Amino acid sequence: MNKQNSKTIMNTFSKISLFSIAVACMLFFLAILVLFELTATQKLIAGLDLLILYLILAVLVSAFRRYIFNLPTSIEFVEKVVEKIVPREVIKEVEVIKEVEVIKEVEVIRKVPVKEEPKKVRKYKYYGSTQANTYHLEKCRFSGMIKPEFLVLKNKSDYFKDNKFHACKNCKPNRN
């Protein structure tokens, strides 16, 4: 059952239900008029009561038509993919022969032992720069930035103090 058919069935059921409730209310109203001797006011009140009853039943049927008819609230559709194999006409068969030349390349990798360079060990406690006229401790980050042509290496700070070098403000070598 597809979605369009289920909607059509529910709409048809709703229309039939509402029509049958309307007919029942009209017959009940006619029966009251015939069987009982009512005044005009009482007839009017009975007619309004039946009209209200009809409206309530119409709303209930419209609101709960899925529950009355017991249809699922959502319908899932499953699509099926069908593959068709269509034979094609063969116009002309051609045989293709390709010669393929296979070239195998072998890459030879030789490991050559590399001589390790000895690590440069800093032997001096103080590093000075003749360009900036400052001196630093060995572990100061600025000592590694001094260019080799301006580098002065000493183990004692007396040389730098005598030659009026300024102490680095970062590592403060004059405290040692």
| Domain chopping of the chain, boundaries | 3-69, 126-175
Rounded distance, CA 12 to CA 4, Å?
A: 12
pLDDT band of residue 165 (cuts 50, 70, 90) is very high
Rounded distance, CA 140 to CA 57, Å?
A: 93
For 20, half-sphere exposure in the C-beta direction (CA atoms, 13 angstrom radius) is: 7
What are the tens digits of pLDDT across the range 109-147?
A: 666 676 776 666 657 889 999 999 999 998 899 988 999
Q: How many CB atoms within 10 Å of residue 36?
A: 10
Task: Name every residue whose Cβ is closer than 8 Å to that of residue 160 and which is 6 or more positions away in sequence.
Answer: 126, 128, 135, 152, 154, 167, 173
Closest CA to 120 of 147, 85, 144: 144
The confidence score (pLDDT) of residue 17 equals 77
Q: What is the pTM of this model?
A: 0.33
The confidence score (pLDDT) of residue 14 equals 74
**Cα separations in angstroms, 14 against 5, 40, 56:** 14, 34, 14
